[in-house]
Amino acid sequence: MDFNIISFEVKKKDIQILLIYTGGTIGMVKDYKTGALKAFNFDKLLDNVPELQLIDCVIDNISFRKPIDSSNMNTTYWLELAAIIEDNYSKYNGFVVLHGSDTMSYTSSALSFMLENLAKPIIFTGSQLPIGDLRTDAKENLITAIQIATLQENNEPVLKEVCLYFEYKLYRANRSTKINTDHFSAFSSFNYPTLAESGVYLKVNKKSLLRKNNNMPLVVQKAMDKNITILKLFPGLSEQVLNCVLEIPNLKALILETFGAGNAPIEKWMVLGLKKAINKGIYIVNVTQCSGGGVAMGKYQTSKHLKDLQIINGKDITTESAVAKLMYLLGKNISRKKFKIAFETSIRGEMQ
């Protein structure tokens, strides 16, 4: 990768953090003459955020060649981001990724799967307002994300996973979801506790962290198969719509967003359509539409038919994480017999 890394020596210490800017509101400042937003010059980071001088670390900065709005995020950019981390993994103690909030949970979930044997912190953050705004949340999110990435205990990183920090709370990335477009508290983790909270003190919930004792080298899986889709059930869903979705060319997997604890209509056409798709080799994953809780197939009559079809149980996984996990597992090209077991097994703390 041909990138120009800019170094900011905040304090001379062994801890080194790489700040990666992909795009998004946090990297914007307002031109007060025109009122328009423009890209932030990270070469002037310390001029705009002098508080970073209080953190005991050296901060280097790297940006996408063409920073993007996160609504334009795709698997190609995921691979670019993963490559930056892979190329610089041995040089830094931790990474902070600046990313637009709209698809942050998707990207951070994807990285949690792609980066196998991860033993360092990768903290995603962003903001609802640009870094130069009077009431911006960007400074606090940036400063605390970097501080979290520097946390060490017995010369080892406290965090060894992909996380998302926003508005005083640190989440496991693949448990997070965006819940609000207007509030600074834009994210939540309904099915898993926060990993840390920032207040007067920075409190880490050590019991909730991923425990990793292996010394295996980082492996980056670059094969992410995007031949998947999502179908959200709703009252009035027709047979024609279901069949059209299941007949998408080259479709390999479907995330079925069901009602409540994994329930779906017991219409004959629904059962036959799903069965036909499964027989064609399409994987179907049952994920609840609800923000909290999970799938319990067989608990109600309206999910027994899904259980009988051997549909994959998404348990309490988020839709964002289900997308990333499907792409990751499909990219591994594992056998059909093992696929269901692999998806229903927690591999990065993404489900119970």
Q: Are residues 79 and 149 in the same domain?
A: yes
Q: pLDDT: is 243 or 133 the higher one?
A: 243
pLDDT of residue 12 exceeding 50, the answer is no
Distance between CA atoms of 221 and 223, rounded to whole angstroms? 6
Cα angle vertex 77, ends 329, 122, to 5°?
Answer: 75
pLDDT tens column, 107-157: 999 999 999 999 999 999 999 888 877 788 989 999 999 999 999 999 899
Cβ–Cβ under 8 Å, residues 209 and 193 = no
Query: How many whole angstroms separate alpha carbon 202 and alpha carbon 158?
Result: 13
Tell whether 29 and 101 lie within a shared domain.
Answer: yes
- CA-based max dimension of the chain: 68
352 inside domain? no
pLDDT higher than threshold 80 for residue 105: yes
Evaluate whether residue 297 is within a structural domain: yes
* Residue 48: Cβ within 10 Å count: 16
Res. 3 pLDDT band, cuts 50 70 90: low
Catalytic residue among 25, 194, 258, 319: 25
Q: What is the pLDDT of residue 25?
A: 85
The model's confidence at residue 10, banded by pLDDT at 50, 70 and 90, is: very low
- Contacting residues for 10 by C-beta, under 8 A, at least 6 apart: 46, 52, 53, 55, 56, 57, 58, 59
The last residue of a domain, from among 168, 200, 220? 220
Asked if the structure places residue 351 within a domain, the reply is no
Query: How would residue 7 be classed by pLDDT, with cut points 50, 70 and 90?
Result: very low
Segment 243-272 shows an average pLDDT of 97
Please write the tens of the pLDDT for every residue from 33-75. 787 777 777 777 767 788 888 898 999 999 998 889 999 999 9
209 and 95 housed in the same domain: yes
Mean pLDDT of the chain: 92
Residue that finishes a domain, picked among 167, 195, 220: 220
Domain ends where: 220, 240, 263?
220
**Pairing of β 16-21 and β 94-98:** parallel
CB 17 within 8 A of CB 149: yes
181: annotated active-site residue: no
Clarify whether residues 206 and 262 are in a common domain.
no
Whether residues 275 and 181 share a domain: the answer is: no
What is the Cα–Cα distance from 182 to 158, expressed in whole angstroms?
32
Please report, as a single letter, which amino acid is at residue 124: F
Instruction: Note the pLDDT of residue 220.
Output: 98
Does residue 236 share a domain with residue 89? Answer: no
Residue 349 domain-assigned (yes or no)? no
Short-list 277, 100, 270, 59, CA closest to 187: 100
Q: What is the mean pLDDT of residues 156-166?
A: 97
The distance from CA 122 to its chain's CA centroid, rounded to whole angstroms, is: 11
Instruction: Report yes or no: 123 and 143 within 8 Å, Cβ to Cβ.
Output: no
Unique residue bearing structure tokens 């036959």:
272
- For residue 243, give the CATH number of its domain: 3.40.50.40
Q: How far, in Å, CA of 284 to CA of 313, rounded?
A: 9
User: Is the CB of residue 258 less than 8 Å from the CB of residue 239?
Assistant: no
Indicate whether this model's pTM tops 0.85.
Answer: yes
Nearest of 312, 314, 299 to residue 351 by alpha carbon:
314
CATH code, 33: 3.40.50.1170
- Residues 320 and 201 grouped into a single domain: no
Q: Name the residue range of residue 64's domain.
A: 6-220
Which long-range contacts link 341-346 to residues 24+ away (Cβ below 8 Å)?
343/283, 343/285, 343/312, 343/314, 344/312, 344/313, 344/315
Q: Are 121 and 193 in the same domain?
A: yes
Residues 32 and 163 in one domain: yes
Q: Which residues pair with 287 in a beta bridge?
A: 257
pLDDT tens digits along 19-28: 999 998 888 7
CA distance 108 to 13: 28
Per-residue confidence (pLDDT) for residue 5, from 0 to 100: 57
Please name the residue ranges forming H helices in 137-235.
138-149
Are the C-beta atoms of 164 and 108 separated by less than 8 Å? yes
Per-residue pLDDT, 136: 87
Same domain, 322 and 188: no
**pLDDT(6) > 50:** no
- Beta-carbon neighbour count of residue 65 at 10 Å? 9
